[in-house]
Amino acid sequence: MMNRRLFLQTAACWSALLALPKVAFAEGLKLIDLSGKKRADAANKTAMGIAQGLNYVEDVAQAAKEGKVKFPDKGGVKMADQPCSSCNFYTCVEGQKAGKCMLIPGVLVHAGGGCMSWVKGAKKACVKA
């Protein structure tokens, strides 16, 4: 069940997503840099803001182990078992351990990453990078 805080955070992220230009979905995307040290471009800056709103982590299994962030179980699936690669919003990119996330456009996200908006998805074919 979604609590008020989670609902407001999700709504804020959707608002930011809808404000982005369609060009953000173009090919040739690079992996998100949450530190902002390796990438200082606008796409990464925007993605970082959205990712922070979603409590995105680069390794959801590790984050669950360390207890840095806590995502609720969804349909009986524990946080550690909620990687981007099994999320409905994720499309894997062939040849990379990363893929596209519909909620964090303009960058690639880590296949083993995760966020509070994870939704169990069907297995999809990978797209070419």
Residue with smaller CB distance to ligand SF4, 38 or 52: 52
Nearest distance from residue 89's CB to ligand SF4, in Å? Answer: 4
Buried b (16+ CB within 10 A) or exposed e, 26-63: eeebebbbbeeeebeeebbebbbebbebbbbbbbbbeb
Nearest CA among 45, 69, 53 for reference residue 7:
53
Residue with smaller CB distance to ligand SF4, 29 or 101: 101
Residues forming contacts to ligand SF4 in the complex (CB under 6 A) are: 54, 56, 84, 87, 89-90, 101, 103-104, 109, 113-115, 117-118
Nearest distance from residue 54's CB to ligand SF4, in Å? Answer: 6
